[in-house]
Structure 1
Amino acid sequence: MITDTSSAVNAAADPHTAGSTATHIVRVGPVNPHVAQVLDEEFRALVLPTDPAEQSDFLQEHAEQIRIAVCSGRFGVGTELMRALPSLEAIVNFGVGYDATDARQAAERGIAVSNTPDVLNDCVADTALALYLDTLRRFTASDRFVRAGRWSSGEGFPLTTRASGRTVGILGLGRIGAAIAQRLEALGCTIHYHNRRERPESGFTYHSSVRELAQAVDVLVVAASGGPDSAGLVGEAELAALGPEGHLVNIARGTVVDEPALVSALSNGTIAGAGLDVYAHEPQVPETLLGLDNVVVLPHVGSGTRETRADMAELTLANLRQFLRDGTLITPIG
């Protein structure tokens, strides 16, 4: 971590040092509290208003001078906002996902984009494992069963599904997917996967399509990157291939799974159950899912530990400081 921020601030204030006539940093949407505090106190960053009319006035006044945008995975720099920032050079993203940012336009314009990979791999993989266990063994459902007094009244909780020794498919064998696979192997599971590129060094069984993967496994764990290229990768056909005894776990992005198709599959028994940490229109969760006992719903807490969020904040700020210093990023995407 860089503890002396004076050079970074001076770089932002001096267009000759920065290599641009644009000097401002703008925060887009809410970010981690520590990041927000540093942006305000050390970098005198602007804050993009959320009200459309105020945002229009803000951009009219400041757009030409905005050089760097800092945002989160949920509130990125979308297509229209990016077009409104002609001097934008970098987007510093808090989070591994950046699907709210128009990465394609950024690449076309030469705008550098960073995220915060690796520091959250373990916590997200732990969340996937917890969802996997809970989805198959229905622990939170049994907790509700006890709290409702059903056990004490003499009712027995239904038998569940063995979690160890299953065949598990991982959609997206990147850093997080590999960490999930490591945990599942410790449970004696056999790992299959689908990825944009085959990874023979993994030793796992590769499938050339998501449907083929779903058909071969007991549980499908979604760990693919979000964005337009992965939207709807798991749809009606893939869920049907997973089958009435199959389970789905999603810790990636809600958009990777066709949400209406998933709701239908869970409601009519096309699949047995699901564990979800992400949704298509967060924080909105389909009302139907909330009434189903074969679904575990979490409020997007995959990386939500104090330690991981602190590491993500430090990496976000380190990316910002390095870009101000020499125009490069520590963890650029791509």
Structure 2
Amino acid sequence: MGPKPRVLDMNSISVLQVGPLMPVVQETIARDYGAVRLPDAPEERAGFLAREGGTFEVAVTSGRFGVGTELMRALPNLRAVVNFGVGYDTTDVAQAVERGITVTNTPDVLNDCVADTAIALYVDLLRGTSAADRYVRRGDWLSKGNFPLATKASGRKVGILGLGRIGKVIARRLEGFDCEISYHSRNPVAGTSYRYAASPRELAEGCEVLIVAAAGGAGSARLVDAGVIEALGPRGYLINIARGSVVDQDALVDALLSGRLAGAGLDVFVDEPKVPEDLLALDNVVLLPHVGSGTHETRAAMADLTLANLRSIVETGSALSPVHP
């Protein structure tokens, strides 16, 4: 472990903004801390970091951009990475721990809305809601007759991969659908009656719908691999509201195209905002543009916690919601 974060001098603190942020966050860090935006163009960025990299003590970013390995190395006096969002897999946490750099995120405040998005995908996917909407808009109801029968959403066997903060909220909502819930996490979760599966594959073998709610990062990359997708099978559905990296996207696309998976509901992708072209024409796939936490209320709460973390780091040297001790 590196040295503990020190209290920063609010009069001389130098803040770097990495990537776009909510307007209220951008405006506040610029007004209160004189934050400087990291250039987007690679050549301009390299020159900027060579000249100014040593001046920055705090970086404010989001889960989409983060402070990766090379950028962190280019900031030798960095003391904290303040992250807007619950995901922080784009930040080199291992290097941060080694150097004593505090990394924060915004947990809990987005649990409800991300869980709601998972349930929206669940109902849409099984009942074909958005596909039926397209059916009406194309005039197919008039020309082709009734929309094909869908799948009952209640009473299904649902597996949750990652029974953390968000996974637990998803499970509670699914109880209202009379679902039989099982889960897999690194270790069994105390205080729950849900069935524990020893591996992602075992979880997939025992469920009809697999909901991915695991944290992103190197440790969970392609946790849902081709074997897990095969175990879910041609009558199974996959929903991902976690990170695109948790699922082997190529294996998923292949299974959907070949009919070895019944359908998928996806809010996240490997290389956002790029979405595999093959998925766009599939009516058994629901595609969302990473809107899991995308409500006015939740984004405002995330902004408040981001700014509160920054203020706490500057004034006390410690964060309100660090992602590591």
If the length of structure 1 is used for normalisation, what is the TM-score? Answer: 0.94
Cross-structure match for 1:12: 10
Taking the aligned partners of 1:28 and 1:110, their CA distance within structure 2 comes to 20
Name the counterpart of 1:109.
99
- Helix, strand or coil for the counterpart of 2:182? strand
CA RMSD of aligned residues (A): 1.2
Alignment match, 1:189: 179
Q: Which structure 2 residues correspond to residues 232-251 of structure 1 after superposition, within 5 A?
A: 232-251=222-241
Equivalence for 1:176:
166
Q: Does 1:207 align with 2:205?
A: no
CA shift for structure 1 position 154: 4.3
Alignment match, 2:320: 330
Residue in 2 that maps onto 1:219: 209
Q: Which of 306, 312, 315 is the matching residue for 1:316?
A: 306
SS at match of 1:151: helix
Say whether residues 1:35 and 2:33 are aligned partners: no
Question: In structure 2, how many angstroms separate the alpha carbons of the residues matched to 1:73 and 1:154?
Answer: 45
Structure 2 match to 1:83:
73
> Which one of 45, 62, 72 corresponds to residue 35 of structure 2?
45
Q: Distance between the aligned counterparts of 2:21 and 2:99, measured in 1?
A: 25
Partner of 2:4: none
Q: How many Å separate the matches in 2 of 1:254 and 1:291?
A: 20
> C-alpha separation between the residues in 2 aligned to 1:65 and 1:332?
23
Report the counterpart of residue 124 of structure 1 in structure 2.
Answer: 114
- Give 1:72's match in structure 2, choosing from 62, 76, 80: 62
Q: CA deviation at 1:11?
A: 2.8
TM-score, with structure 2 as normaliser: 0.96
Deviation at 1:200, TM superposition (A): 3.6
Partner residue of 2:289 out of 296, 299, 312: 299
Aligned length in residues: 318
Could you say what secondary structure the match of 1:263 adopts? helix
Structure-1 separation of matches of 2:44 and 2:199: 46
The offset of 1:324, in angstroms, is 0.2
State the partner residue of 2:3. none
Q: Report the secondary structure of 1:161's partner residue.
A: coil
Between the aligned partners of 1:292 and 1:257, the Cα distance in structure 2 is 19
Separation in structure 2 between the aligned mates of residue 229 and residue 13 of structure 1, nearest angstrom? 39
Please give the per-residue CA displacement for 1:274-303, whole angstroms capped at 9, x wherever unaligned.
000000000000000001111000000000
* Structure 1 segments of 4+ aligned residues over 3 angstroms from their partners: none
Q: Which amino acid aligns with 2:136?
A: V
Corresponding letter in the other structure for 1:26: L
CA–CA distance in structure 1, aligned partners of residues 103 and 192 of structure 2 = 29
In 2: Cα distance, 1:197 partner to 1:154 partner: 50
What is the CA–CA distance in structure 2 between the aligned matches of 1:267 and 1:12, rounded to whole Å?
56
In 1, the alpha carbon distance for the partners of 2:144 and 2:301 equals 48
Query: Aligned residues: percent identity?
Result: 58
Q: Look up the match of 1:143.
A: 133
Q: Does 1:153 align with 2:151?
A: no
Which residue of the other structure, out of 232, 248, 253, is the alignment partner of 1:263? Answer: 253
